[in-house]
Amino acid sequence: MPKLKLNFKLFGLVVVGVVLLASNVLLLGRYESRAKSLESEIAKRDLRTDLKSAEALRQDYYYSESATLVSPHTMRLNMDKGQVDFVLIDVRSAEDYARGHIRGAINIPFDGKPETIAKFRKALEEGNKERRSYAIVYCYSYACMLGRKTGQELSKHGISVKELSVGYNDWAQQHHIWNSPGEVYDINNYIVTGSQPGDLAPSKEFLNRSCSNDEKFAC
């Protein structure tokens, strides 16, 4: 009889232990599920601009602008210096490209098709041989959305791309606006007609000076 009671007690303890273990496993599962749910919610909130402070939104804007846009003035000076670490790509139509394009730009009219994206990838692979590690695209004007859409689509495919902050029309017709006063240059030396890109490094005989001695904060 005492042995039976002992076995009954052991059985009871085992049952209690199993129940407690099952409860802990269940609670742990619920905790992990809740934690994942909270992480997902936090991630969604980080993407929602209405939940960000004005200062955080300003930081996002300036980070993205400085990481994405290229100054035409700086690019022109780098062309003069021969400091070309990019592949310049004109995404306008072949007809408009032939009428006039920035010297050194190749033409890949963008339509979002896989074969077109493959052309961009190939252009960068060839540029890498000359230590050109990223692409700069431009379209018709600073207000043209084609360059932005091109960059957006290429970045989805892992292609490193930036956008010139002006388009060809601004480059050719409004160059005095984006260049520093007192600089001596002939914009025609930075423009080519026809189907060939032309040499990206124009003559260095012109007087050029940046708006700042510190290249990091040049215009």
Lowest mean pLDDT among 34-48, 161-175, 176-190: 34-48
Q: What is the domain count for the chain?
A: 2
- Dihedral pair phi/psi, residue 127, rounded to 5°: -65, -30
Q: 7-44: per-residue pLDDT in tens?
A: 556 555 555 555 566 565 565 566 566 666 666 665 65
pLDDT at 48: 57
What is this structure's pTM? 0.71
Interatomic CA distance for residues 132 and 148, integer angstroms: 21
Mark whether 120 and 39 lie in a shared domain. Answer: no
Quote the domain boundaries for residue 191: 69-202
Mark whether 74 and 44 lie in a shared domain. Answer: no
Q: Is residue 27 part of a domain?
A: yes
Q: Is residue 63 part of a domain?
A: no
pLDDT at 81: 84
Mark whether 27 and 79 lie in a shared domain. Answer: no
Mark whether 17 and 79 lie in a shared domain. Answer: no
Structure-token pair, residue 200: 């990206």
Q: How confident is the model at residue 209 (pLDDT cuts 50, 70, 90)?
A: low
Mark whether 21 and 104 lie in a shared domain. Answer: no
Q: Under 8 Å CB-to-CB from 109, ≥6 apart: which residues?
A: 91, 92, 93, 94, 97, 116
